[in-house]
Structure 1
């Protein structure tokens, strides 16, 4: 039965990722990049500035940085470590080049979707804060409740269930390799600890994410920087191999052009989530004076995720040449590469790191599903059912095969991205108008403030009345 499911998923994924999604992701990203006048380059300094804004006085809300931390908790995880290794083992070093490209153009897509999420966010009567995301801008912006419902179902299945199985799968394999830990036992322990946290609500999720993501990213990038400096003379050669392999010129050390392109885009999207419709769910929770501010913050998140953290993993692997060994892929390849550079203790160190990375991702993934369950049905019983299902998938993922969970993740991720990309294409003119309003106010020396009247003809907007949120 498992093989039948695997074969079906392979057929669908081949169509999605070798044809449809490549066109949508690259085409959409380029369109958003040109229409926004290359905002990811032009406004990079502004991205760094707005992320430092402090929390507003809005009761029950979370700060722009905490919203960023929730989204980064979901982004920064196994995709940065295992996903990059899989991309290199299946597509060769050239896959890294296409990961870079999809991140650069995808950061514009991330700006569009997160800005739209802010514009169409709604008040959360239970917490006093905000909630929103693609399901909400599909309903209120496009007047298509059915489309929002479809997306809410897909993201709940993807992030809450399938993606969390991917995280627990990577953790259990890493610990089994390093410490001989029983995978089922570890899965049960993870589910118990995770259950304690998720029953604390979004504020607890934000608090955990804020600390875990910053500390982990700093440690991991620091280890990668050490390896780069120790092999600095080989850096030009590694970059050359990446670029040549990206276009099929280095077949001896990598896959063909098509394999590099497809695996780079798949693993890049899994890692940075640009255009997928996940990060907007976190972006909508922030209390800020202008929707474009959160759009800029999330755009920065895409660049940090791929150009810094994923590249760190890629350099670890490519400097050692571990990817040329047969029988190594996923987390085992990254562990082998780190061990070759820093000693056998480094493999155990990475197992602990991957546990914390992936655990932080469980937090962000869970929240994305919860906010969309509330979109579908506000009765609390469904939240409880969802929580039980999430914990069950954490245990399931810890014992199932690597290939099945990753292929399932690719399938649901692809379906999510298609629905979301169509929606943000149709609504992009509103996000462009918000960006134009933001930059005009900045040029006038103001701290940009947004209201419903900032964009003529804007309808079905709940939160942006004539008394905008004030930020400190």
Structure 2
């Protein structure tokens, strides 16, 4: 019964409400900012490499890595596979659309997070949607509602799904028993996650955070090798993507399983553009102008969807293995790589999933620290945080043994609630972001390094970090 209710809510959100909000807001921002995805791409690349004045401060590149680490995870592998297995090859096109259009929303929300960010006693910057909601709209209850929805999404919904996705990669091995193995793997994962969250696993955290960027590059390389090995399939793959993407009879005949809905769902799950998560990382960067970090976060969406998600899609679709609902998730990816690379393929995907899922689990929980600090108006006590992290570890255990479709629907609904709160807010506050963009471009035309002063865009409000 509960599963049916959640599925109905999810279907309504992604068949009507969120499609209008996401595409509408992204399209509006894209037009209003005059296509920054293309026009300011070079400026975004330059901003990534800019070093802060304070060597101890968080750089644009570091903030990009934090938000990208959160975005890059099991969704890039399992999410893409599930979308194609349910919605067909056309799902990939709609992932691209939501990434390109959504990157404008990512630009606006991250620019706002920079403008309204706060500074602590040690000089470190922090912020996010909760802070720009309260500072600009003076509505703390709405800000708290956003914090609660994001905690529910990341510490619970996404972590249960990441746990399931990780254990599902072992389904192809001979020792796997569907009734027992998920709980064993979930238990091991929960213990290791809890140990790391409670402070005992700093070495593991450092090792995995070093390995994941390397694994991301290796993943793209392996995908390119598979595509090259199956290059004869590529013209057919692209033809099928565009044919199925615009099969409107199929889309409107069975929208819940259509290419459009699956592409938008999984694209949003993967790149998180517009839902308000990345601004929490964007606010921590020390930059001379808020727009710089907005452009950098726009790049993060491209890295996630246009690179990693496309890599998964291409190596699976060019393998010759037909996608079916029975193969959705890790099994189709493993079967595709086994077809092209033999026994190395499934083993590589298993290692990738372990690393991606594990760092996602930790990153999602640490994301919540800033949100809990906002709700409490101070850093929560050690006892409270220890209890919260133990609950997070228990959630990891529970998620490993749950049913896949319910976990996807729970994550979709929770993520959708974040978007429903954040998108209207950034639409209301978009004038401030647009003024900041004009100020940034004015200074670029003058040939100087853009430096932000709130008075230059007519802001009368006192800001913590911009005078």
Q: TM-score, structure 1 length as denominator?
A: 0.91
Change in Cα spacing, 1:272 to 1:204, as seen in structure 2 (3 Å) is farther
Q: 2:2 aligns with which of 2, 5, 14?
A: 5
Once the two structures are TM-superposed, the CA of residue 376 in structure 1 deviates from its matched residue by 0.4
1:137 pairs with 126, 129, 132, which one? 132
Task: Say whether the 8 Å CA contact 2:87–2:258 is kept in structure 1.
Answer: yes
SS in 2 for 1:141: helix
1:37 paired residue number = 34
Cα distance between partner residues in 2 of 1:422 and 1:169 = 32
In the TM superposition, residue 312 of structure 1 has moved relative to its aligned partner by 0.7
Go from structure 1 to structure 2 and tell me whether the alpha carbon gap of 1:458 and 1:72 turns closer, same or farther (over 3 Å shift): farther
- 1:396-419 CA-to-partner distances (Å, cap 9, x unmatched) read 112222112111000101111110
Shift of 1:198: 3.3
Q: Deviations over 1:247-283 (max 9, x none)?
A: 11796xx977971111100000000000011111111
Check conservation: 1:245, 1:257, Cα contact below 8 A.
Answer: no
Structure 2: 5+ residue stretches without partners: none
Distance 1:30 1:328, change over 3 A: same
Distance 1:435 1:210, change over 3 A: farther
Alignment of 1:430 onto 2:432: yes
Q: CA RMSD in A?
A: 2.4
Q: How many residues align?
A: 458
Deviation at residue 366 of structure 1 after TM alignment: 1.7
Q: CA deviation at 1:195?
A: 3.3
Matches within 5 A, 1:190-269: 190-199=189-198, 211-248=210-247, 259-269=258-268
| Alpha-carbon distance, 1:322 to partner | 2.5
Matching residue within 150, 160, 165 for 2:160 = 165
Q: Which runs of 5+ in 1 are unaligned?
A: 466-472
Specify the SS of the correspondent of 2:451. Answer: coil
Rounded to whole Å, the distance in 2 between the matches of 1:74 and 1:322 is 30
Deviations 1:57-86 (A, max 9, x none): 165x42221111111111111111000011
Conserved 8 A contact 2:209-2:359: no
| Aligned counterpart, 1:17 | 14
Offset at 1:316?
Answer: 1.5
Spell out, residue by residue over 1:394-447, the C-alpha distance to the aligned partner (whole angstroms, 9 max, x if none): 111122221121110001011111100011000111111111111111121111
The answer to which of 168-177 and 103-112 deviates more is: 168-177
Specify the alignment match of 2:318 in structure 1.
319
| Alignment of 1:405 onto 2:404 | no
Residue 170 of structure 2: aligned partner = 175
Contact 1:197 1:205 in 2 (8 A): yes
Determine the C-alpha separation between the residues in 2 that align with 1:368 and 1:166. 17
- Contact 2:99–2:267 (Cα < 8 Å) also in 1: yes
| Contact 1:178 1:348 (C-alpha < 8 Å) held by counterparts | no
Where does 1:347-366 land on structure 2 (aligned, <5 Å)?
347-366=346-365
Tell me: CA distance 1:212–1:449, structure 2 relative to 1, closer, same or farther (3 Å). Answer: farther
Q: What is the distance in 1 between the residues matched to 2:282 and 2:454? A: 18
